[in-house]
Amino acid sequence: MSMVLSDRPTRKEILEHWDPEDADFWERFGKGVANRNLVVSIIALLLSFVINTLCALVSAQLGNAGFSFTPSQLFLLTALPGLIGATLRLVYTYMPAIFGGRNFTFACTAILLVPLVGLGLAVQDPTTPFAAFAFWFAFMGLALANFSASMANIAYFFPVAKKGTANGLNAGIGNAGVAVAYLVTPVVIGMSLGLGHGVNTPAGTVLFLQNACFAWVVPTLITLVLVAVFMDNLPMPRQSFAQMASIFKNKHTWFMTWIYTCSFGSFIGYSMALALIIAVVFPDVDARYMMFLGPLIGASLRPVGGWVSDRIRSGAKVAFVSFVLMLAATLAAMAGIAAHNFALFFGAFLVLFMTTGLANGASFRMIPNIFTDRAQGSQVTGFTAAIAAYGAFVVPILFRSDYTVALTVLALFTAATVVLTWFVYVRTGAEIKC
């Protein structure tokens, strides 16, 4: 394919002749373009996870800001972005092929300015009703949906041999937005940035909760400039409905959906619920400046999971070991709550986040090796990511009632995933080694 191109082809010509599996084309032209798009995609995805996570952090502070919502209502608010975001992921997966990767990334990032401003204004008015918060929190869910579009877009830029690492970097560093939100929010809501009035909290401090939202308006505008200038619309094959539906006939679509839900679904679910769990179960503990550690570990180890899987040529083995450790950590978290031992609980959650990251990266090596057709592999990635994102809704909903029951359900789900991964992909005589 590279023989068709001149020694100094235009940007348009490179995209029109895109063939990352051609080693000469990849080294001469493809690698630079792919890496440029990957870097900007990571920035946009990181911002999306920051904005989505703000819902969890804002809900945990509404009581201090003068709102009298019940814990059940707060967990529901925290869960709403997951419901909307996961559902829209099913649609967003196919948008880059229709509108172009750059075009759609720009549009879905720009629209996030609306809920940022809307929620920032709502938290300053103590008469804002619950329904209004439900609307703005649900609107924030669009940020969670961006993941599917981002992964579907980036998947086409890299050869199969490098998809695990590329997808791991995009998803892993992008997911670090959760940790960034946990780290930055406690700082900015304690400072007067001249963006509105503060309120006195029961602890005697002044809270500027609107800063949690307003602080991200300028970074969003900067990201839009980067997307417009440095990303590309890579021509992608458009699939008919029949072709898209064909993935559902393959049993491995459902197996990988289960596996990815246990990894990413747990990551995003625990990320959304952690702040409220600590606030309700351990109200005497000030964990504001520690909570970022879990999401940071999980996101950081996601590319590591992809890299290790590529090195040992088995994402399934990495995922299997990760799920075994995840099960043990879930049981330890239950023990921490039962004993009201914050150190045990928080330590277990750090291990939980670690295992979700490793399993996340491993799954991105598994999918392209199971589904060798690039278009089909991209569709399966998008579908599994969409279903897994419901973890951001299900996990907070589970914790609305009994915390021990919630963790028991999650432990059983993890145990089932251990068995599934071993039987289908790891054991001697497994149908597919991936």
> What would the pLDDT profile of 298-356 be if each residue is shown by its tens digit?
988 887 898 899 889 899 999 999 999 999 999 999 999 999 999 999 999 999 999 99
pLDDT at 161: 80
> What is the model's pLDDT at position 245?
80
**pLDDT tier, 237 (very low <50, low <70, confident <90, very high otherwise):** confident
The residue that leads in pLDDT, 313 or 216, is 216
Both tokens of 18, joined, read 């895109």
Lowest mean pLDDT: which of 80-84, 332-336, 369-373?
369-373
Contact 404, 337 (CB under 8 A): yes
Q: How far is CA 397 from CA 90, 160, 268, in A?
A: 21, 38, 13
Q: What is the 3-state secondary structure of 17-79? A: CCCCCCHHHHHHHHHHHHHHHHHHHHHHHHHHHHHHHHHHHHHHHCCCCCCCCCHHHHHHHHH
Which pLDDT band holds residue 239 (cuts at 50, 70, 90)? low
| Domain spans of the chain, in order of start | 2-426
Residue 190 tokens read as 């304690």
Please tell me the predicted confidence (pLDDT) of residue 3: 46
Q: How far is CA 171 from the centre of its chain?
A: 7
Q: Is the pLDDT of residue 78 over 90?
A: yes
Element holding 417 (H helix, E strand)? helix 403-421
Q: Is the dihedral of CA 298, 151, 393, 369 positive or negative?
A: negative
Percent of all residues in the chain with a pLDDT value above 70, rounded to a whole number: 98
What CA dihedral angle connects 303, 305, 307 and 313, to 10 degrees? -150
Residue 116 pLDDT exceeds 90: yes
**Which pair of tokens denotes residue 60?**
């945990």
Across 93-229, where does the E strand assignment appear?
Answer: 199-200, 206-207
What's the pTM? 0.86
The answer to whether residue 123 scores a pLDDT higher than 90 is: yes
- Res 240: pLDDT: 64
Q: What pLDDT score does 164 carry? A: 67
| % of the chain at pLDDT higher than 90 | 65
Q: What is d(CA 311, CA 131) in angstroms, rounded to the nearest whole number? A: 50
The mean pLDDT value of the chain amounts to 91
CA–CA distance, 421 with 28 (Å, rounded to integer): 39
Q: What is the DSSP letter of 341?
A: -
Q: Which two tokens stand for residue 11?
A: 């940007």
Res 273 pLDDT > 60: yes
Residue 56 is predicted with a pLDDT of 92
Q: Rounded to an integer, what distance in angstroms lies between the CA atom of residue 18 and that of residue 34?
A: 10
Q: Which residue stretches of 339-402 are H helix?
A: 342-370, 374-388, 391-398
CB-CB neighbours of 234 under 10 Å: 21
**12-61: per-residue pLDDT in tens?**
888 888 999 999 999 999 999 999 999 999 999 999 999 999 999 999 99
Give the residue among 175, 148, 185 at the shortest CA–CA distance from 353: 175
Residue that has been written with the tokens 């950081």 in this structure: 300
Q: Which fold does the domain 2-426 belong to in CATH?
A: Growth Hormone; Chain: A; (1.20.1250)
Question: Can you list the alpha helix ranges (DSSP code H) found in 262-341?
Answer: 266-281, 293-312, 315-338
Given the structure tokens 């989505």, which residue do they identify? 52
Across 189-193, 240-244, 280-284, least confident range: 240-244
pLDDT in tens, 140-194: 999 999 998 998 898 889 987 887 678 778 877 888 899 999 999 999 999 998 8
Residue from 151, 159, 152 nearest 30 by CA: 159
Residue type, 360: N
Question: Quick one: which of 142, 194, 175 has its CA closest to 49?
Answer: 175
Q: Rounded to an integer, what distance in angstroms lies between the CA atom of residue 80 and that of residue 139?
A: 9
